[in-house]
A and B are shown apart, each in its own frame.
Chain A
Amino acid sequence: MPEIMSALNAVFCEVFEDDGLSITRDTSAADIDGWDSLTHVTLILHVEKAFGVRFSSSEVSGLETAGDLEALIAARSAKD
Chain B
Amino acid sequence: LQLAQQKTESGVESSLVTRLVESIRVRHPRSLAGVLEAQAVNPARFDAYANMLLHWALCAFGEGTIERMADAFVRFSSDVNFAQARYEAAGRYENKSYQECQDTVYCQKETMDDYLMGIYLTNFLWAHHMEISLFFEERFLTSLAPGSHIVEIASGHGGWGLWALHSVADARLDAFDISPAAVEMSSALAKAANLQDRANYALQDALAMDTRAVGPADACICGFLIEHLEKPDELMEVIGRLLRPRGVAFLTGALTAAQVDHIFEFRYESELVLLAEHHGLRVTDLRSVGPKRTLRGASFLPRSIALVLQKRTHETW
What size tier do the contact residues of chain B reach? 20 to 34
Q: Please state if A41 and B29 are interface contacts (CB–CB under 8 Å).
A: no
Cα distance A24–B83 in the bound complex, in angstroms: 29
Q: Per a CB cutoff under 8 Å, which of B29, B32, B83, B294 touches A38?
A: B294
A residues contacting the other copy or chain, number (CB 8 A): 18
Contact with B along A23-41 (1 / 0, CB 8 A): 0000011100001111111
A35 touches B82 (CB 8 A): no
Task: Say which one of B70-78, B186-194, B222-230 lies at the interface with A.
Answer: B70-78
B296 lies within 8 A of A37 (CB):
no
- Chain A min CB distance to B4 (Å): 31
Q: A58–B82 Cα gap in the complex (Å)?
A: 10
Q: Does A61 contact B (CB under 8 A)?
A: yes
Q: Which residue of A lies closest to B34 (CB)?
A: A37
State which of B74, B75, B85 has its C-beta within 8 Å of the C-beta of A41: B85
Q: Let me know if B31 is at the binding interface, CB within 8 A.
A: yes
User: B294 — nearest CB in chain A belongs to which residue?
Assistant: A38
Task: Pick the 3 closest A-B CB pairs, nearest first.
Answer: A61-B78, A57-B82, A36-B33
Q: Could you list 15 further interchain pairs (A-B, Cβ under 8 angstroms) beyond the known A36-B32, A38-B294?
A: A30-B29, A36-B31, A36-B34, A36-B293, A37-B34, A37-B78, A40-B30, A40-B81, A41-B81, A41-B82, A42-B295, A57-B78, A57-B82, A60-B78, A61-B79
Seen from chain A, the residues whose Cβ lies within 8 Å of a Cβ on chain B are: 28-30, 35-42, 44-45, 56-58, 60-61
